[in-house]
Structure formats: C-alpha cells, structure tokens
Amino acid sequence: MKKRVTNWKYILIVAIFAFFVAVFSIWQLKILPKELFVPEIKKQKKIEVTEELTDKIIEKIVPENFDRKTACFFVNDLDNDKISEIIIGTTPPQPTYQAYLTVVTPIDETGNYKKIADFYFDEENISFRSTPCLQEAKDILDIDGDGKKEFVLDLGTGGASNEAFGIFKIDWEKNKIEWLKIKRKDGQIENSFFLRGGSVMHQEDFELKDLDSDGKLEIIEKEGEYIGGDWESKESWKWQIFVYKWDGEIYNYDEELSNLLEK
C-alpha cells in the first residue's frame, strides 16, 4: 500500500498567497473611500420652512376650486423626528359647505413636498364655519400619550358668539387625518367637536388637562347656565362638567372624574 505524502510545498504557496490577498484587502480599505464599500444611508435634508416656501406648497397642493389666498398654515414637528410638518387648511370662496385640511413635509426649497395625510369637510360633515386653522402652538400636543401630536383646530365663529373647535389625529400608517372620537355619557360616539362662548344665559367651554397624572390628557367639557346675580361671579352660574378619559381607543366619559370636578 502506497503512503500518502503531504505536499508541504503546495500548502506553503497557498498560505503565502492568502496572506498577500488579506494584506492587499486591508490596504485597499484604508486608502479607498468608504462609500465604495459601505452604502451611505441618506437622511432627509432639514428644510427651513419659510412663508415663501409654504406659499409654493399651497399653490401646488390646494384643490383647484379652493381659495389659496385665504389658506392658513401652521408649522410643527408632529411626530418628533426633528423634521417639520406643515398643517394647511383652506376653503373654496364663501359661502361654502366644503373645507380641505392637509399635512405635508417639504422635501426641497422649490415647493416639492411629501403628503402625510389629508381630510375633506363636506355637506355630510359640516362642523366648520370658516377656514379651519391652527391658532397657537399650545393647540398642538400629544393628547393620548402615543408620542405623536394631535391638534385642536379652530373651526370658526358661530351666530351665538361662540367659537367651534375640533380635535384631530393623524393615522401615520394609513396616511389619514381623523377626528378624535369621544363616547358620551349616554354611550353615543361622536366627533370631538366643542364650543367656547355662548350667550348671556348660556356658556360653553372645554380644556385639556392631565387630571390623574397618568401622562395622558383628559378632555374637560363645561356647560353653564346663568342663575342670577353678578354675571362674572362663579356663584351666578350652574355648571355641568363632562370629563372624557383616553382608554386606548377612544375618549370615554368618566363619571368619577366628572363628579369630582362638579363638587
């Protein structure tokens, strides 16, 4: 039987060759740009949102029969990614039963944009009285504690000297703007539509406040009837208070908190 002979010469040649290949590879990595070997992850460029830029976006995105001149807008980072979104509201020339609301992210200085979501008010969804607008930064806040901001829209002034408001939420996965829903004391589910103001005999108001320190804001709705005396005195009014608490899906009427505030 023939003995197998190890070819040490051949093994040595292969080892030396492998050594030089490894050294050459390391040398290449050091002197050549890394972009040739590792694909660069490009982040979205941060755009300075100016009134001029917003006007360009409004010109492009607002539906054809809607009024661009009376469109209102507000800039805020709604999803906390350090990139600003623009909330735009507009209506056709008055009188109208329509309004349009959209949220966009600018992608360059020429007015190009990425649409996040939009929403149409129409005859079946008449809750506005003028162009839906955001008035102040305090009206943009994380109400339900999910890390993304909701916003309180001013929907216009009514005939009884009151102002209408609605609370809206973005579904970032479905790219939709939706009413934040509330479940009334009687179990009826409605849009979060509230009034501020009223008449000499009747007043309405609402506010957002974390009553139980759980990191989520409660919605507090108030209805007052004048019962006589000094009009500006608290004792001259009888108030009903309705507190709505977030349950993970909807703002539900909370009887315990409501009774606590009425005392």
Report helix, strand or coil for 163: strand
Q: What percent of the chain has pLDDT over 90?
A: 51
pLDDT tens digits, residue range 36-57? 333 443 455 678 899 999 999 9
Task: Report which of residues 32 and 257 the model is more confident about.
Answer: 257
Q: What percent of the chain has pLDDT over 70?
A: 78
* Sequence-distant (≥ 6) Cβ neighbours of residue 211 within 8 angstroms: 218, 220, 243, 257, 261
pLDDT for residue 80 is more than 50: yes
Average pLDDT, the chain: 83
pLDDT at 150: 96
Residue 240: pLDDT band with limits 50, 70, 90 = very high
| pLDDT, tens digit, 9 for 90 and up, residues 130-178 | 788 888 889 999 998 889 999 999 988 765 677 889 999 999 999 999 9
State the pLDDT at residue 215.
87
pLDDT the model gives residue 12 = 59
Q: Rounded to an integer, what distance in angstroms lies between the CA atom of residue 30 and that of residue 256?
A: 68
Q: What is residue 237's predicted lDDT score, i.e. its pLDDT? A: 84
Encode pLDDT of 167-217 as tens digits: 999 999 999 999 999 999 999 999 999 988 888 888 899 999 999 998 899
Residue among 110, 38, 103 at smallest CA distance from 74: 103
Of the CA atoms within 13 Å of residue 207, those in its CB half-sphere come to 6
Average pLDDT for 60-73? 91
pLDDT digits (tens, 9 = 90+) for 98-112: 889 999 999 999 999
What pLDDT was estimated at residue 40? 41
Separation CA 29–CA 32 (nearest Å): 6
| Per-residue pLDDT at 187 | 95
Question: Which has more confidence, 123 or 52?
Answer: 52
Q: What is the pLDDT of residue 97?
A: 76
pLDDT at 2 over 60: no
Q: Would you tell me how many other CB atoms lie within 10 Å of the CB of residue 101? A: 23
3 state SS of 27: helix
Stated pTM of the model: 0.77
Q: Looking at residue 73, what is its pLDDT?
A: 95
CB 13 within 8 A of CB 7: no
